[in-house]
Structure 1
Amino acid sequence: MKYHFADCVLDLDRRELTRGSQPVAVGPQVFDLLVHLVENHERVVSKDGLLDAVWNGRIVSESTLSSHINAVRKAIGDSGAEQRLVRTVARKGFRFVGDVIEVRQPDASGEVGIAQRLSIPETTAAMAHKPSIAVMPFQNLSGDPEQDYFADGMAEEIITALSRVRWLFVIARNSSFAFRGSPVDVKQISRDLGVTYVLEGSVRKAADRIRITGQLVNASTNGYLWADRFEGPLDDIFTLQDRISGNVVGAIAPQMELAEIERARRKPTENLNAYDCYLRGLAHLHRGGREAVGEALPLFRKAIELDAEFAPPKAMAAWGYFWRKINGWTTDSALETAEGTALARDAVELGRDDAVVLARAGHALAHLAGEFDSGIALLDRALFLNPNLAPAWFLGGFLRVWHGEPEEAIDYFEHAMRLSPVDPELYRMQAGIAMAHLFAGRFEAASLWADQAQQNLPSFLMAVATGAASQALSGRTEDARRTMDRLRELSPALRLSSLKDWLPIRRQEDIALFADGLREAGLPDQ
């Protein structure tokens, strides 16, 4: 049994809590307390009820209970001030107020962790060529046959939105809707339609509100990759329909990409083709470390050798060179900049209608070639082609940070996080928000977001630098000095005089603010 809420997954069988795809260490009583609150989220749980459930009726102090409640909130990203998920009800107890999705795994093979859950055994040759999905007719649970049109429309909107994801093969509406009225047998549908994934869902209308649920199933294992629930007023059902389809696509596309990466990684190394080399390269690139990027680039080059017209590996290789630059890992800066720029230009030429290609290549061009306006235009086109592409949102956020638009940038980053809350690139979004807060003068907020990014990827130079500067500017001198020590370990050659060459910050006041913070933290001028 698993419970999904906010960006957390609570796995009862494994007694694991993950948040933002990262495991969260909690004590056994804190875990049991969270489970009890989540399982009883429809009602207020009294303090006596918690003592009975977690401490078996044993008497504990008020402070012990309070400290455990605080630990629960901290573990799931909540706080006593916000109470977004765990609310204190005066003189009554506590209530879990977040939206909870309950996922029951169909058998033991479905009860796996993230890495196993995303593995895809080999299927047919057609299925291995490209990830494939069938969106089934959504069930109308309203008891009103006249609402069938809305359930059908919901599925059709999702089919249309998924069809914009160029690396995904989507079964046409008429084929998947041929199963209307039949029990959903995922394995049979997989065999009949030749797909790896099946998306099923339901629609329930009550009074002036509507609730829609969706589940993405790996047909090979019958295990769930993703599940969520959406609820809202019925004032404008078509607006709600658009929002839900966008959220569904934004949420499941990264999960499917991760699944395909894992499938490719498990293939024998002698059975390589351009697409699998590309996916293997992505697996390394998402890890973000220096060695990982070093392993990714040869795989992208191999994919290009196998298919010179294949734009995605060119875009991702260009982006890999950008990532080496921003972390101070280049061995020959001029050569790598020239190679990355050439790859980005080729990718844009070959992938004019590929949102992923335009997003990565456009961002790389802005950083490597200084073509800032072109980079923003390419990212805007990527969002026009696929408004649910989380990387296009957070990469667009970065370009707006450098352009001096921190508030708009934060909107971009937050939108990306809503679309893909368990994204393997979450640390990039967190670092971007940190830098935006820094330039907006909110130094404590910048420090908190930089800390989160560093926890997810300790070697991310920009996140460490942002953390050091924001700590210094907020008066936390000792913390800033310690963070600066880490910065020196990561990039001994970094100096204040090289900031302009390192990051494409356009506003002089932003460069000056960043430099002031790093200077106070201890970074030398020359």
Structure 2
Amino acid sequence: MERRLAAVLIADVVAYGRLSQIDEEGTRMRFQADLKDVFEPTIAQHHGRLVKTMGDGLLVEFQSVVDALRCAVDVQQQKAKRNADVPTDQRLDFRIGINLGDIIVEGEDIHGDGVNIADRMQSLAESGGIAISGMAYDQVKSKLPVGFVSLGEQKVKSIAEPVRVYRVVLDPAAAVGKTGRARRNLGRRRIAIAATAVIVLLLAGATAWWQPWTFLRGPTSVERFAYPLPDKPSVAVLPFINVSGDAEHDHLAEGLTDDLITELSKVSGLFVIARHSVFAVQNTGGKIQDVAAELGVHYVLEGTLQRAGSRLRINVKLIDALTGLSLWAERYDRQYTDLFAVQDDVIGKIIAALAVKLSEGERNQLARIPTENLEAYDYYMRAEQAGLTFSDVETYREALSYYQKAIDLDPDFADAHAGIARIAVDVWRNDYNILWSAAVARKIAYDAAGQALKLDPNNARAHTVLALLQLVDGRETEARVSANRAVQAQPSDAEAYGNLALILAHSGSHQQAMTEMEKALRLDPSPSPSFQLLAGIVFYIADDNDRAISLMEAARDALPSAEAAREFLAAAYIDQDEQARSLQEKTKLLELFPESNLTYYSYLYDYWREDDLHRHLASLRKAGIPEWPFGFEGAEADQIAGEELNNLVSDKTWTGKHRNGTQFIQFFDKAGNTAYRSANTNITGTVEIQGNRLCEKFPGYFLDRMVCGYVYRNKTQEEPGMAYVHVTPQALKFFSIGP
């Protein structure tokens, strides 16, 4: 039996089976064309020997590992050029693996560990990329104009000792620069997936031996579950417990929980319960099986975290709630800098234990780490915790400051940009003006969402923000596309489904909207008050008041000062002919927000479909919401119109007082410009007269809409010294003409 040292190259087509299902003959013809036009001449040029083709793969032998890598680089560069104009569903991308090692020669064929390791390297390469073993790297690291990214030591199938692995970067600057985000270590995950059956059986057996009491409790009956179990593996990641004895590290435990939920929710083969619901059950004191029954999941992940200086200790256990058995358990005693590696390993072990198959896109998404800067990640986790409620201005500001600090430390941190976008769109579409004017918030939301998607095209939150922006901007079709992309990027994300439901509701697809919202509520069975309110509004728009009311009542009880909860409940109750309840909500709404009026809502919701908006305004009118702020009603005989109105706003200065007591001064020139000033506002805009209406537009306010109102002679008992009353959807002002 002949043995020799050789450089082995193995190439394999990415997703060949899927491409063959689309076009079997065409795919095979393209493979043969690549073999003839690219591989064979390039192999010959670099002194290699094509040993054989293996279906959609190639086995090649070289005497020099430098020649092998040169050949691989040349092939991938040629393929990149050939693929440039080829549609995605017709493109053949290759992974290439290279190893330097001992091989067994049998005639023209070769075998042995040297070949097996090359094959394992191929499986660790990226689509269109190259991965090499440590033995190969040691010989080529300084001999070619390429870069290398270390994946560390990997335990690979059929090889006793771990193997060092390096990915080849065709642009050397990218190996150390900022041209691309680093990737998680997928080696262990893939090997774990391959060994699923053995691991699960061994762990289950070991658990039964070491923990016999789990059998004494007996299995959990499926009938006890609050919801039917999904037709795919369902998981709840319970909040990790900080056992450090220092509340300063609570955000680390919560952040680890959030990240595991987020990453697992990207896997289409899993059903993952949303963050708020798992945190809602953490203090119930119930057993794991009771928690699983309440959430309607088959499996539960629980764990603890302890940080001491630079050391991090994490204990994790995956439990089958139907049997009470622990499927997998692990203890990690690592440096804090290894946090992402721990997360990666936990995700891989869960996927392996549940025998879930990953698509190529999911594998790539899971491989991506959010940031290489752990300090930036720490600030991001703090922002996420601060932003759970957004109950007041200070929580918005606190979250924004943390997101911005994360970006300052790592400008390429996509999730942090998406966090800022999420806050900005909330401020803009709700016309809060608490942090920025509407125009500024809109621009920040677009810019931040765009930057997040530039850095990570599959960022679900950024797609969600973009969908809301497009909806309010009147770009309904684009909004639906963006909302669907968010769901595709994170198939178990309740927020993405809820946002899609809202877009569908406003697009007139009411039945589909309810279906998507039901999916969202199944993923988040104990939703936050804000999500309950969103769900209630979707069902209200879809004309299902029974479900709408129960959700909005829960939101109102938790958020008693939320304007939308009072507004929509007043309308929903009156639609159900519950007049007393409607009156109670209307009264509280006007007590909390006395400026509330139908004209304001008609402007604020001008992106709604006409029939839905008409129905909502009619219900609010029936509930007793006034047409104008503070219930103002002007007599037609007192209305200023025509030339008299023009004279009031041509080179004139108004001085006066708002109904809420704020004093103001407003100047109008002859060219249609206006300047408004009060104790806390100083803005400029434009003005025009439309019939008997006075219309104003202040850039950055009220969604940049032109807002129209009326001017009356002041015949009220209020502010008797003022000659006129100006009523708009936003304000009631008393004024006189100044000198």
- Scaled by the length of structure 2, the TM-score of the pair is 0.38
CA distance in 2, matches of 1:216, 1:393: 31
Question: 1:234-313 maps to which residues of 2 (within 5 A)?
Answer: 273-291=375-393, 292-313=395-416
- Scaled by the length of structure 1, the TM-score of the pair is 0.51
> Is 2:498 the partner of 1:391?
no
Match of 2:462 in 1: 357
How many angstroms does 1:520 deviate by?
A: 1.8
Aligned with 1:419 (options 523, 526, 530): 523
Q: Secondary structure at 2:388's aligned position in 1?
A: helix
Structure 1 residues 118-163: Cα deviation after superposition (integer angstroms, max 9, x where no partner): 6777999xx999849999xxxxxxxxxxxxxxxxxxxx99989689
CA distance in 1, matches of 2:259, 2:432: 42
Match of 2:424 in 1: 321
Structure 1 residues 299-337: Cα deviation after superposition (integer angstroms, max 9, x where no partner): 222222222221222222222122234554224222222
CA distance in 2, matches of 1:202, 1:118: 23
How many angstroms does 1:285 deviate by?
A: 1.8
How many angstroms does 1:349 deviate by?
A: 2.1
How many angstroms does 1:289 deviate by?
A: 1.0
Question: 1:320-469 maps to which residues of 2 (within 5 A)?
Answer: 320-331=423-434, 332-359=437-464, 361-366=465-470, 369-423=473-527, 426-469=528-571
Amino acid at match of 1:510: D
> Is 2:237 the partner of 1:98?
no
Question: 1:122-271 maps to which residues of 2 (within 5 A)?
Answer: 131=256, 196=314, 198-202=316-320
Structure 2 CA distance for partners of 1:305 and 1:441, relative to 1, 3 Å: same
How many angstroms does 1:516 deviate by?
A: 1.2
Alpha-carbon contact 2:471-2:503 (below 8 Å) kept: no
Amino acid at match of 2:411: A
Amino acid at match of 1:377: V
Alpha-carbon contact 2:530-2:555 (below 8 Å) kept: yes
Structure 2 CA distance for partners of 1:479 and 1:118, relative to 1, 3 Å: farther
Structure 2 CA distance for partners of 1:389 and 1:159, relative to 1, 3 Å: closer
Q: Secondary structure at 2:500's aligned position in 1?
A: helix
Alpha-carbon contact 1:340-1:368 (below 8 Å) kept: no
CA distance in 1, matches of 2:591, 2:332: 45
Amino acid at match of 2:392: R
Structure 2 CA distance for partners of 1:134 and 1:330, relative to 1, 3 Å: closer
* Bigger shift: residues 308-317 or 451-460: 451-460
Alpha-carbon contact 2:556-2:565 (below 8 Å) kept: yes
Which has more radius of gyration?
2
Identify unmatched segments of 5+ residues in structure 2: 1-216, 228-237, 274-300, 334-353, 367-372, 629-739
Alpha-carbon contact 2:494-2:521 (below 8 Å) kept: yes
Identify unmatched segments of 5+ residues in structure 1: 1-38, 44-95, 102-113, 136-155, 166-183, 205-210, 222-239, 254-270
Q: Secondary structure at 1:200's aligned position in 2?
A: strand
CA distance in 2, matches of 1:185, 1:302: 31
Structure 2 CA distance for partners of 1:303 and 1:503, relative to 1, 3 Å: farther
Alpha-carbon contact 1:321-1:336 (below 8 Å) kept: yes
Structure 2 CA distance for partners of 1:417 and 1:343, relative to 1, 3 Å: same
Alpha-carbon contact 2:242-2:304 (below 8 Å) kept: no
Alpha-carbon contact 2:407-2:413 (below 8 Å) kept: yes
Structure 1 residues 384-406: Cα deviation after superposition (integer angstroms, max 9, x where no partner): 22211221111111111222222
Alpha-carbon contact 2:379-2:405 (below 8 Å) kept: yes
Q: Percent identity?
A: 20
Q: Secondary structure at 1:198's aligned position in 2?
A: strand
Alpha-carbon contact 1:413-1:429 (below 8 Å) kept: no
Structure 2 CA distance for partners of 1:507 and 1:185, relative to 1, 3 Å: closer
Match of 1:488 in 2: 590
Amino acid at match of 2:597: R
Match of 2:617 in 1: 515
RMSD between aligned residues: 5.1
Q: Secondary structure at 2:224's aligned position in 1?
A: coil
Alpha-carbon contact 1:344-1:365 (below 8 Å) kept: no
CA distance in 1, matches of 2:552, 2:253: 39
CA distance in 2, matches of 1:356, 1:164: 17
Alpha-carbon contact 1:318-1:344 (below 8 Å) kept: yes
CA distance in 2, matches of 1:328, 1:284: 21
CA distance in 1, matches of 2:243, 2:481: 36
Alpha-carbon contact 2:470-2:478 (below 8 Å) kept: yes
Amino acid at match of 2:615: L
Decide which structure has greater helix share: 1
CA distance in 1, matches of 2:446, 2:484: 19
Structure 1 residues 494-525: Cα deviation after superposition (integer angstroms, max 9, x where no partner): 43223354346532111011111111222222
Structure 2 CA distance for partners of 1:197 and 1:497, relative to 1, 3 Å: farther
Alpha-carbon contact 2:537-2:568 (below 8 Å) kept: yes
CA distance in 2, matches of 1:453, 1:416: 16
CA distance in 2, matches of 1:511, 1:412: 22
How many angstroms does 1:447 deviate by?
A: 2.0
CA distance in 1, matches of 2:620, 2:245: 49
Decide which structure has greater strand share: 2
Structure 2 CA distance for partners of 1:299 and 1:218, relative to 1, 3 Å: farther
CA distance in 1, matches of 2:223, 2:547: 25
CA distance in 2, matches of 1:403, 1:522: 28
Amino acid at match of 2:543: G
Q: Secondary structure at 2:627's aligned position in 1?
A: coil
Structure 2 CA distance for partners of 1:522 and 1:506, relative to 1, 3 Å: same
How many angstroms does 1:467 deviate by?
A: 0.8
Match of 1:138 in 2: none
CA distance in 1, matches of 2:560, 2:578: 20
How many angstroms does 1:436 deviate by?
A: 3.0
Higher RCO (C-alpha 8 Å, min separation 6): 1
Structure 2 CA distance for partners of 1:444 and 1:309, relative to 1, 3 Å: same
Structure 1 residues 251-292: Cα deviation after superposition (integer angstroms, max 9, x where no partner): xx9xxxxxxxxxxxxxxxxx9832222222222221131232
Paired residue total: 331
How many angstroms does 1:412 deviate by?
A: 1.5
Amino acid at match of 1:317: I
Amino acid at match of 1:198: V
Alpha-carbon contact 1:344-1:364 (below 8 Å) kept: no
Alpha-carbon contact 1:413-1:432 (below 8 Å) kept: no
Amino acid at match of 2:470: A
Alpha-carbon contact 1:321-1:340 (below 8 Å) kept: yes
Structure 2 CA distance for partners of 1:161 and 1:487, relative to 1, 3 Å: same
Structure 1 residues 53-104: Cα deviation after superposition (integer angstroms, max 9, x where no partner): xxxxxxxxxxxxxxxxxxxxxxxxxxxxxxxxxxxxxxxxxxx953289xxx
